[in-house]
């Protein structure tokens, strides 16, 4: 394995030749949580967990929207960060698909991918992550949680400086939301073990791009330690 700066000590560290890491050296910086933070759980609804903890290659015919083993692997880390945020009384927000205009959404979908008929509770938040009273749920039609929603206003009212993000998919809604978060002026942190994608290569490449340009990709333990340090 090529030797990289600690900044590259993440899931993509063997994805590219050394010359690419050298090319991106000017992006290296100190990463971490800044100021008051909130947690956004992106699209962690039942649909992405369908079929259980199995490879996506075994699921896509029967469950075309499932992220299979990748979704279930991220569930534990997601629960950990969610628990810590609630323990500290910090803001927690969720996103899910807006079903209010279902008859028109073929022209306003999040991506071009064709989807089958979803179950009645497909877009309910996974039961192990159920929102508690007072936690906001953002209903969206496009990939970004910011587009056409009041998310930025809510974050400003909550005095959020750092938006911590978990969820799916890394190359889709997470990426779109993270770039918009940066554009709205929020410092953005992605919890590496708690974001996922159906395609591992897209996952790695998207995290690489986001980490260098728009967000801090941080390991779960580092995020938890920084949160706890703020309360000591």
Lowest mean pLDDT among 25-29, 110-114, 162-166: 110-114
Would you state the pLDDT for residue 110? Answer: 54
Local confidence band at 231 (pLDDT 50, 70, 90 cut-offs): confident
* Burial state string for 123-148 with b = 16 or more CB within 10 A and e = fewer than 16: bebbeebeeeeebbebebbbbbbbee
**In contact, 11 and 192? CB cutoff 8 Å:** yes
Please name which of 4, 76, 34, 10 lies closest in space to residue 219, comparing C-alpha atoms: 10
The model carries a pTM of 0.92
Q: What share of the chain is helix, strand, coil (3-state, %, to 5)?
A: 40, 15, 40
11-67, pLDDT tens digit by residue? Answer: 999 999 999 999 999 999 999 999 999 999 999 999 999 999 999 999 999 999 999
3 pLDDT more than 50: no
Residue 216, Cβ neighbours under 10 Å: how many?
21
**Distance (Å, rounded) from C-alpha 40 to C-alpha 232?**
24
Nearest residue to 155 via CA among 40, 31, 33: 40
The partner residues of 191 in beta bridges, in order of sequence, read 218
Give CA–CA dist 37/29, Å, rounded.
20
**pLDDT at 193 exceeding the cut of 50:** yes
pLDDT value at position 120?
Answer: 79
Residue 97, strand partner residues: 140
d(C-alpha 191, C-alpha 195), whole Å: 6
CA distance 50 to 206: 24
Report the candidate in 91, 102, 114 with the shortest Cα–Cα distance to residue 164.
Answer: 91
Say what the pLDDT of residue 132 is: 98
Nearest-angstrom CA–CA distance, 185 and 110: 23
CA angle at 147 for the pair 133 and 166, rounded to the nearest 5°: 55
Paired tokens of 205: 């490449």
């Amino acid at each position: 394995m090529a030797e990289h700066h600690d900044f590259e000590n993440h899931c993509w560290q063997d994805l590219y030749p050394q010359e690419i890491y050298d090319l991106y050296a000017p992006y290296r910086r100190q990463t971490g949580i800044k100021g008051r933070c909130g947690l956004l759980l992106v699209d962690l609804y039942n649909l992405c967990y369908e079929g259980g903890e199995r490879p996506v290659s075994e699921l896509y015919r029967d469950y075309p929207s499932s992220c299979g083993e990748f979704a279930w692997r991220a569930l534990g880390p997601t629960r950990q960060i969610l628990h810590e945020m609630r323990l500290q009384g910090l803001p927690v927000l969720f996103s899910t698909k807006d079903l209010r205009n279902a008859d028109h959404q073929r022209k306003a979908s999040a991506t071009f991918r064709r989807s089958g008929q979803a179950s009645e509770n497909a877009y309910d938040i996974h039961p192990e992550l159920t929102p508690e009273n007072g936690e906001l749920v953002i209903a969206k039609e496009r990939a970004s949680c910011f587009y056409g929603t009041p998310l930025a206003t809510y974050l400003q009212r909550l005095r959020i400086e750092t938006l911590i993000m978990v969820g799916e998919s890394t190359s889709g809604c997470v990426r779109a939301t993270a770039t918009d978060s940066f554009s709205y002026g929020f410092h953005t942190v992605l919890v590496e073990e708690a974001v996922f994608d159906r395609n591992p290569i897209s996952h790695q490449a998207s995290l690489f791009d986001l980490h260098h340009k728009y967000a801090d990709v941080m390991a779960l333990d580092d995020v938890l330690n920084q949160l706890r340090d703020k309360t000591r």
